[in-house]
Amino acid sequence: MAADGGQRGDTRVRDQEEQAMPFAAITYDIKAGYEKEISEIFRTFRRVGSPVVRDEAGGETARILSTAVFLRDATMVRLIEYEGDLDAVARHMARQPGVQEVERKLAPYLSRPRDTGTVEGFVATFRRSLLPCLAQMSVRDAS
């Protein structure tokens, strides 16, 4: 929750969807000096079972197009390119064995713990860690 008591994470997610921003970036606070260990964790990362995100009825609500991870010193950023509902993407990621495994392996290297052991905790952490997209440009947008 924001200092004013509002759900800032919820607002940012809705704002991104309303503006059709297909990129999300989430941050991790990492202990500096563990770049090799963290690189090894992602080198062996198991991809999600499917890029298609479905709701309980089986309808497609989102699609994960690509991901990337960046690390320097004490900051790590995961970039996600997606289509559709970002909350659905976060819930989908929370259920993926490879994502759960990465979160467990990262735990000793975090300077601020992340509550990602449950879907609810993962989604709340995802929202808190979300960086607002200020600008994007793509050749796909050119006429």
Give me the pLDDT at residue 38, please: 96
SS3 for the chain is CCCCCCCHHHHHHHHHHHCCCCEEEEEEEECCCCHHHHHHHHHCCCCCCCCEEECCCCCEEEEEEEEEEEEECCEEEEEEEEEECHHHHHHHHHCCHHHHHHHHHHHHHECCCCCCCCHHHHHHHHHHHEECCCCCCCHHHCC
Give me the pLDDT at residue 70, please: 96
Q: Each residue of 62-105: pLDDT tens digit?
A: 999 999 999 999 999 999 999 999 999 999 999 999 999 999 99
Give me the pLDDT at residue 135, please: 86
pTM above 0.85, yes or no: no
Q: Each residue of 6-62: pLDDT tens digit?
A: 444 444 444 444 445 589 999 999 999 999 999 999 998 877 778 899 998 999 999
